[in-house]
Amino acid sequence: MFKSLSDSLGRVFDRLRGYGKLSESNITEALREVRVALLEADVNYQVAKDFIEKVRARCLGKQVLESITPGQQVVKEVHDELISLLGGAAGKVNLDKRPATVMLLGLHGVGKTTTAGKLAAMWKKQGKKVLLVACDIRRPAAVEQIGVLARSAGVEMVVPVAKETVVAIGRRAMDVASARDIDIVLFDTGGRLHIDEDLVQELSDLKGAVGAQNVLLVVDSAMGQESVNVAGQFNEKVGLTGLILTKLDSDTRGGAALSIRAVTGCPVLFCGTGEHAENIEIFHPDRMASRILQMGDIVSLVEKAQEKLAGEDMSRMQARFMSKDFNLEDFLGQMRMMRKMGPMENLLEMLPLGGKLRGSVGLPAGASEDMARFSKRAEAIVLSMTPRERRRPEVINGSRRRRIAGGSGTTVSDVNDLLRRFTQARKMARKMGRFKGKKELLQRFR
C-alpha cells in the first residue's frame, strides 16, 4: 500500500546520506520533497504541514547538524515523528469487563461484516468465548453472511427474529451472553451509503442499550481522504474508541492511514490485509513507520512465522537444510512452509530495504502468483517421484524425467527447472552448513 510513498522517501534519504555534512538549506530542501511525497500519497494537507514543521524543528538542532552521520539522524527524526503521527504505542480493545461489548460501525462496502468474522476468529484462537450478533437487518443476505462467518470461526451467534428492532436484538444478545458465560459480544451493525440521522440514532440507541465499551469504526483505506471525513463525522455523532483500517493490501496511496489518527484522535487498533480470516493484524505504529521507511519489520515477520509454523518443525527443517543429507523431500517441505507464511511481496516488505531487495531479485508484479504456481507444480513433480528418487535426486536420468513429467501432468522442462532450483538450494545449504561448522569450531577454541 505504501510502496509509492516508501520509494519517494527512500530517494530523498539516499541523497541525504550522501552528504558528509548537512546545512539548513539541505534539510529544508529535503523536507520540501518529503512534504510533496506525503501530499502525493493523499495525506491530509494540514497533517502533512504539521508533520514537516515538527520534523524541521528537530532537524535544525545541534544534535543533527553536528552529528557524524547527519543524514541518518534526519531519517531517525522522520521515523520518530511518523510513529507519533500514527499514534505512538499500539492501542488495545477494552476487554476487562465480562462480557466485553464491541460494536463495529461503518458505511456499506467497507468490509465491516468480514472484519467481524476475522475478529471473532482471532479472539476464539486466544481462548475467548465470542458471541457474534447480527444487527444489520436491512442489507440483503447480511444475516446469512454472519452465519457463515460464525460457523467458520466456531463461535456462537444471535440473529434477528421477525420485526425485531436493533435495540431489542442487542438486549437479547446481552441476556444470551450472561446465560452462556460469554467473554466478548461482537455487534455487526448496519451501514448506509452515507451518514444520516436514522443511522446515527440507531447506533446511539444500540450503544446505550448494551453499554458498549468499545465502538470501533471500520474504514476502507482505499477511500482516501473521504474515509478521514467519515471517521470525523462518526466520532462526532456517535463517539468512537478506535479504528480498523481495511484493504491495506491494496495499491492505494495510503494517505488515509497516515491522516486518520491525527484528524480523529482515535487510535488505529487493527488493519485488514486480505479476505481470509487470518488476514487481520494488530496495528503497531512503530512497525508501520519502519515499513514505510523501508527499515523492515522483523518482529512481525518472526511473529508470523511462530504463528504459522510449529517450533519443532522449524528447528527440524533448519537442521535438515544445513545437513549434507538435504533432499527433495526436505525441499518440498520448505516450499510448503513458505506457502503458509503468505505472499512473497508481503514477506519482503518486512525485511530491511525490502523494496530495493524486491527490485534486485527482479520480483515483478504478480510474482506471488508465479511463486504459488511454481510451488504447486513442484509439489506435483516431487510426489510423482519414487521415495528413492526424492532422497537421491542424482539417480534421475532422462527416462525417469519423462516418466515423472507424465505422472505429474507437467513437462520435462518443468522437471529440469525444479531440479536446477533444488541443486542451487542444496549448494547454498552446504555452504551455510560449512560456515556454521567453522563458527562452532572457533567458539570451541576461544
pLDDT digits (tens, 9 = 90+) for 116-141: 999 999 999 999 999 999 998 888 78
Confidence tier at 86 by pLDDT (50, 70, 90)? confident
Answer whether residue 69 shows pLDDT above 70. Answer: no
pLDDT at position 306:
53
Answer whether residue 304 shows pLDDT above 60. Answer: no
Residues of the chain with CATH 3.40.50.300: 100-295
Which residue from 66, 182, 85 is spatially nearest to 128, judged by alpha carbons? 182
Candidate from 128-137, 165-174, 199-208, 365-374 with smallest mean pLDDT: 365-374
CATH of domain 100-295: 3.40.50.300
Confidence tier at 250 by pLDDT (50, 70, 90)? low
pLDDT tens-digit series, residues 273-299: 778 888 888 888 887 777 777 654 444
Tell me the fold of 3-86: Four Helix Bundle (Hemerythrin (Met), subunit A) (1.20.120)
Q: Which CATH superfamily is domain 317-444 in?
A: Signal recognition particle, SRP54 subunit, M-domain (1.10.260.30)
Q: How many other C-beta atoms lie within 10 A of the C-beta of residue 365?
A: 9
Strand ranges across the sheet with 280-282: 156-158, 130-135, 184-189, 100-105, 214-220, 242-246, 268-272, 280-282
Candidate from 318-327, 329-338, 435-444 with smallest mean pLDDT: 435-444
Round the average pLDDT of the chain to a whole number and report it: 78
Q: What percent of the chain has pLDDT over 70?
A: 76
| 66-90 mean pLDDT | 76
Candidate from 67-71, 192-196, 334-338, 437-441 with smallest mean pLDDT: 437-441
Answer whether residue 51 shows pLDDT above 80. Answer: yes
- Full-prediction pTM beyond 0.85? no
pLDDT tens-digit series, residues 202-232: 889 999 999 999 999 998 877 777 778 888 8
CB 112 within 8 A of CB 218: yes
| 145-172 mean pLDDT | 90
Backbone angles phi, psi at 87, to 5 degrees: 120, 0
pLDDT at position 442:
45
pLDDT at position 150:
92
Residues of the chain with CATH 1.20.120.140: 3-86
